[in-house]
A and B are shown apart, each in its own frame.
Chain A
Amino acid sequence: MKIEVNQVDKSFKKQRVLNQINLTIHSGRIFCLLGASGSGKTTLLRIMMGAIRSENGTVTIGGTKVPNRQLLAEMGYMPQNEALYEELSVWENLKFFAGLHKLNRKTFEKNAEELLQVVDMLQDKTKLVRDCSGGMKKRISLAVALIHHPQLLLLDEPTVGVDPVLRRRIWEYLKQLKLSGVTILVTTHVMDEVTQCDDAALLRNGHIIAKDTVENLTGMTPNGNIEELFFMDDQSEMEEATC
């Protein structure tokens, strides 16, 4: 599902957090929205889902203008917080969200078993979420986002607090999903994660300062470190200001 963001602006209490954002995310790609905390990544993600309204501009997903309730059936969303019900078990949490997507019992059980295997939680499926560690909750949250096999996956900082072995397994799974045609949008402030993606956009103070394929972005820096793009931009702005 192709996402197109056109001229999107957003302010909170007169403070501009997104400024004239233009983005195209192609179908079947993993797109990374990279930026420091407070740079506007989550706000942009929430505008794309239709959770909040932008002041100007439009977002279309698969040609349909956001917000659209039918589109939500095709989306999987993993918020920054775990957003799980602590008093329910891992299995019950999955079952609840599967119910909201109107999955039948057989499909739910098949999807749930498969996803719990991926996030290494199958043996803990009867455990109450309140008894799970932070990393486990993150994994359950990812499984919840994927329970209905969405065509568009929006993941807000998905691997924070997940150990390196499992992080690799999750990325392998996301790449498998991509091959099956799923479009994946990931926000992160961890530079290493960018290398797992196909395309990226760098967001700073509500502005997109660079966007391209990860390969091209890496090529723009002398050391092949995307992080340097943030500093390079700083320098050019300083030079402009001096002139």
Chain B
Amino acid sequence: MLSIVKRILGQIKNDKRSLGLLLFAPLLVLTLLYFILGNSNYVPQIATYDMSEKFTTELQEKAGVIELNEKPAEKNYLEENGIDALIWKDSEGIHIELLEKNSKSATALKAIQDTNKVLQPSQSELLIDYVYETADDNQLDSLSYVFLGVISFFFVFILSGMSFVRERFGQTLERMLMTPISRMDIIGGYTFGYGLLSALQSVVIILFSVYVLHLHVEGSVSLCILVMILMAFSAVSVGALVSIFANNELQMVQFIPVVLIPQIFFSGLIPIDTIPFGLGNLCYFTPIYYGCTSLEMIMIQGKGFMEIWPWLVGSVLFIGVLFFVNVMALKKYRRL
């Protein structure tokens, strides 16, 4: 088993591209997400017609304002003029027209609501508070556990699965199996070899997220690393298992959406209890569920080991079952 672990580490040392894919590609994706989903300084463009001077002046503090002398008749006025919202008043009341439901429209709407709030201070204000997050947390903070889990799982799954497919088609697996090594040692060596690399990846991702991107982590950083490592080990096992059903590297790529996309649904992106027909129960068959739920509890809810241990046990059981299945699956190539 140790020979296989050493060989995998030696191979990756001489394969800078795979090492880069494993260590730096997740950081690049996370950095992109940080800029895309983090707090943006976008100033919405709002057109007003027949609004009070007081309102317009106050709105100018929060948005770019274009005052119109007549209400535009064209339907595509907003789109053609790069305007996010049009607000006007008539006998029915105040109307707001937005282009579509997106983050720019949401920013424009917020600017209008804030202006309204300033102008009508007597209106009783709704004070919103969250048990586990603050109102200042951005989208990335709220979904960080999903991104960390899914991105890490994805890269490890690809690397280990592809490597196993190459072992089979390059006949190195057959050659290995024609030595007295046991099937358990092969799967163990593979899991630990890629698991160690993935553990390194997990440490790098978490430290980068916390100390460079300043993602909000309420609980223990080291517990996050432990969860990520367990998730990486399960990704290696899933990669090895799926590779058995792939007849070539292209087929391995075709398996990615089948294996990965359903798991993303159970990562916490959609609340599981809102998934109809009891389909949410499928989450127990996906390793990402155990990992992402643990990460959510640590990063968002600040929970400790005593609260997350059932999910850690779930992850460990998953790795154990996959290990056994992979050892049995190798029987296809050697009966003993």
Contact = CB atoms under 8 A, between A and B. Distances in A.
Given A69-B336, A88-B11, A83 B177 contact: no
Interface in A117-155: 128, 144
Interface stretch (B38-46, B168-176, B269-277): B168-176
B15 interface: yes
Contact of A96 (B3, B178, B333): B3
A203 interface: no
A99 interface: yes
Contacts of A92: 7, 10
A128 B11 CA distance: 10
Nearest to B14: A87
A119 to B, nearest CB: 17
B334 interface: yes
Contacts of A87: 10-12, 14-15
Interface string B165-195: 0000011101111111110000000000000
Contact of A144 (B2, B175, B182): B175
A51 B181 contact: no
A230 interface: no
Interface in B122-137: none
A81 B336 contact: no
A185 interface: no
Contacts of B75: none
Nearest to B334: A51
Given A67-B334, A67-B335, A99-B6, A83 B180 contact: no
A99 B180 CA distance: 11
A122 to B, nearest CB: 20
A72 interface: yes
Contact of A79 (B3, B171, B180, B333): B171
Contacts of A75: 178
Chain B interface: which size bin?
20 to 34
Nearest to B186: A100
B174 A79 contact: yes
Contacts of A50: 334-336
Nearest to A99: B3
A128 to B, nearest CB: 6
Contacts of A89: 14
Contacts of A85: 7, 11, 172
B174 A51 contact: yes
Interface string B52-78: 000000000000000000000000000
Nearest to A68: B336
Contacts of B2: 99
Contact of B180 (A49, A72, A88, A128): A72
B14 A128 contact: yes
Contacts of A88: 7, 10-11, 14
A47 to B, nearest CB: 11
Interface in A72-96: 72-73, 75, 77, 79-85, 87-89, 92, 96
Nearest to A80: B171
Contacts of A82: 170
Contacts of A81: 170-171
A97 B175 contact: yes
Contacts of A189: none
A199 B172 CA distance: 29
A156 to B, nearest CB: 10
B171 A97 contact: no
A97 B179 contact: yes
A100 to B, nearest CB: 4
Interface in B1-39: 2-3, 6-7, 10-12, 14-15
B175 A83 contact: yes
A88 B15 CA distance: 9
A72 B171 contact: no
Contacts of A84: 170, 172
Contacts of B14: 87-89, 128
A53 interface: yes
Nearest to A130: B14
Contacts of B178: 49, 51, 72, 75, 77
B182 A69 contact: yes
A101 interface: yes
Nearest to B12: A87
Contacts of A99: 2-3, 6-7
A89 B13 CA distance: 11
B175 A79 contact: yes
Given A77-B175, A88-B11, A99-B6, A70 B180 contact: yes
Interface in B297-336: 333-336
10 contacts: A49-B178, A51-B174, A51-B334, A69-B180, A73-B180, A83-B172, A83-B174, A83-B175, A85-B7, A88-B7
Given A85-B11, A88-B14, 15 more contacts: A50-B334, A50-B335, A51-B178, A51-B334, A69-B336, A73-B179, A77-B175, A79-B174, A81-B170, A82-B170, A83-B172, A85-B7, A87-B11, A88-B11, A100-B181
A-B interface, 5 closest residue pairs, ranked by CB to CB distance from nearest? A99-B3, A83-B171, A100-B179, A87-B11, A77-B178
Interface of A: 49-51, 53, 67-70, 72-73, 75, 77, 79-85, 87-89, 92, 96-97, 99-102, 128, 144
